[in-house]
Amino acid sequence: MIFRQGRYSGFIKPFFYLMDLAIINLSISLFPLNFRNQVLFSAYLTTIWVLISLKNSYYEVQRHTKITLLATLVIRQFFFFFIALYAFIGFFKEFNMSRLALAKFCFFVFIVIFTIKLIIYILLKKYRERMSGNFRNVVVIGKNKKTDQLINIFNQRVDFGYRFKKQFDTKLPNFNINECFQFVLKDDVDEIYCSVSELKNKEMLDIIEFADNNLKEVKFLPDNKFIFTKKLKYEYYDYLPIISLRDIPLNNTVNAFVKRSFDVLFSLCMIVFLLSWLTPILAIIIRLESKGPVFFKQKRNGLDNQEFECYKFRSMAVNDLAHQKQATKNDFRVTKVGRFLRKTSLDELPQFFNVFLGEMSVVGPRPHMVSHTNMYAVRINKYMVRHLVKPGITGLAQVRGFRGEVETDADIINRVKFDIFYIEN
């Protein structure tokens, strides 16, 4: 199986957030605003900017977003920001503040932010157009007027950053959906675009399952009878409506920032206030019972199926099967100390270092060893969807009782169901 590789476009939104907030706060000192408490004023501006941007979807600018929509977002953002800015005077009784200076401040910030946003927007498009950077490989399933229009958009709007690879005509007598899947895997395709009107229900389900199991994005060109439900996300490429089936909350910049902030603070507290004194004690106990390292490192699969070193306190005697065979009930490899560590989950505590380093989250689907991931990816439907978010020290599946040894396929199927529910909600 070929799995989705990591992308760096996810850093663009956080960059814009930090850049805009830095411009706003640094510009305060350029104008004689005459406020009493700069910390309060700065905190107020930061808070209202974030809240307005959330309501306004200000940072939801995609590669296919038109420049007119970009300008509309900026103007709407600053309209509400301007109102909230003057509301500060009444809220905090800052009646000595200069209204004129406040207006100049707002206008200056608007010009600077809009100019920089526009420049970066244009540079990204030029980067995709001239250097073929930040692109995504796509295929189209179906052949009709709408699919031909979409392919023209892919080929003509190079600045969108889509590289059209192949079109599959479902009307041909030798059409086989499995050949599409083989091509997608062989040519490292990122996104699959399907015409709803030309696919049977069974074929649509097969495509969705294939995309989930191989971490590919699937989108649909609707026909006139297609119903837009709340579970579907639709967007426009020029004038064509495109439907996405899964909208992951953690793809939202603010949600991801809040979750990452919690992960950093919580893991740091655990490392400083618990692991700093508990680790030496457990290290001595572990070494007294059996020879070997205190920590056990194991390759596991994380976000976008990328491998990382997962840390644990060693709970087994050193053995050659540690990276292939999962611990079972009454496993002879588990030491007496290790049995206690596993029962109390103390062996998992070093994973707070993984959380702090950004490889894991406090809450998320539990990561599995690489050999098990390769095995379950083939046997368990939608198993790979778990890798759309960072793995966690604990997760919804564990809270619902699905933890420890996987004895039957039903155990891992139920884990996957809870993991997917967590990811989508």
DSSP 328-382: -TT-TTB-HHHHHHHHHTGGGTTHHHHHHTTS-EEESPPP-BHHHHHHHHHHSTT
Task: Note the pLDDT of residue 121.
Answer: 82
Most confident range, picked from 84-88, 317-321, 350-354: 350-354
pLDDT in tens, 194-244: 988 888 888 888 998 898 888 888 988 876 544 444 455 666 676 677 777
Is 404's pLDDT higher than 80? no
Cβ contacts of residue 136 below 8 Å, gap of 6+?
Answer: 161, 162, 163, 190, 191
Q: How far is CA 71 from CA 56, 66, 76, 354, 415, in A?
A: 13, 9, 9, 40, 45
Q: Lowest-confidence range among 101-105, 124-128, 311-315?
A: 124-128
- What are the structural domain ranges in the chain? 9-131, 136-247, 253-424
Question: What residues contact residue 382 under an 8 Å CB cut-off, 6+ apart?
Answer: 209, 212, 213, 416, 420
Handedness of CA 316, 321, 323, 325 (dihedral sign): negative
Cβ within 8 Å of residue 345, ≥6 positions away = none
Model confidence band, residue 106 (pLDDT cutoffs 50, 70, 90): very high
The two structure tokens encoding residue 312:
């644990």
Specify the pLDDT at position 425. Answer: 84
Q: What is the pLDDT of residue 63?
A: 67
In the prediction, which pLDDT does 255 show?
83
Q: 292: which DSSP letter?
A: S
Question: How would CATH label the architecture of 136-247?
Answer: 3-Layer(aba) Sandwich (3.40)
| Cα–Cα nearest to 311, from 292, 326, 323, 296 | 296
Distance, CA of 160 to CA of 153 (rounded, Å):
9
pLDDT of residue 3: 38
At 168, the pLDDT band (50, 70, 90 cuts) reads: very high
Which of 221, 154, 219, 216 lies closest to 181, judged by CA?
Answer: 216
Tell me 166's DSSP state: E
pLDDT at 1: 37
Give residue-wise pLDDT tens across range 322-344. Answer: 666 776 677 778 888 888 988 88
pLDDT at 95: 84
pLDDT score, position 26:
92
pLDDT above 70 coverage of the chain, percent: 88
Q: What is the pTM of this model?
A: 0.60
**What is the CB neighbour count within 10 angstroms for residue 82?**
16
> Average pLDDT over the chain, rounded to whole?
84
Query: Higher-confidence residue: 353 or 425?
Result: 353
User: What was the pLDDT predicted at 44?
Assistant: 93
Q: What b-and-e string marks burial along 202-228, b requiring 16 or more CB atoms within 10 Å of the CB? A: ebbebbbebbbbbbbbbbbbbeeeeee
Q: Is 337 within 8 Å of 369 (Cβ atoms)?
A: no
What is the residue whose two structure tokens read 């596991």? Answer: 300
d(CA 95, CA 127): 48
What distance in Å separates the CA atoms of residue 234 and residue 336, rounded to the nearest whole number? 55
From 424, 425, 1, 420, select the one nearest 210 (Cα to Cα): 1
Say what the pLDDT of residue 134 is: 66
Which is more confident, 425 or 259? 259
Structure tokens at 289: 């019972």
- The answer on pLDDT for 129 being more than 90 is no
Tell me how far apart the alpha carbons of residues 125 and 135 are, in angstroms, rounded to a whole number.
Answer: 10
Mean per-residue pLDDT for 354-365? 94
Q: What is the pLDDT of residue 201?
A: 82
pLDDT on residue 230:
43
Residue 158: per-residue pLDDT? 77
Comparing 67-71, 185-189, 299-303, the range with the smallest average pLDDT is 67-71
* Residue 247 pLDDT exceeds 80: no
Cite the DSSP H helix spans in 28-144. Answer: 38-56, 67-91, 99-131
pLDDT of residue 399: 85
218 contacts: CB under 8 Å, gap ≥ 6: 191, 192, 193, 194, 207, 208, 211, 244, 245
What's the CA dihedral at 150, 152, 156, 157 to 10 degrees? -10
CA distances from 282 to 90, 102, 314 (A): 58, 59, 10
- pLDDT higher than threshold 50 for residue 2: no
Would you state the structure tokens that stand for residue 151, as one six-digit string? Answer: 């392919």
How many angstroms separate the CA atoms of 16 and 134, rounded?
A: 17
Predicted pLDDT of residue 332: 76
> Would you say 310 and 323 are in contact if contact means Cβ atoms under 8 Å apart?
no
Residue in this structure with the two tokens 């189209």, named with its chain if needed: 140
Whole-angstrom distance, CA of residue 339 vs CA of residue 324: 19
Name the token pair of 104: 């100049």
Given this model, what pLDDT does residue 15 score? 82
The enclosing H or E element of 259 equals helix 253-270
As a whole number, mean pLDDT of residues 256-263 equals 90
**According to DSSP H, which parts of 141-229 are helical?**
145-156, 177-186, 201-213
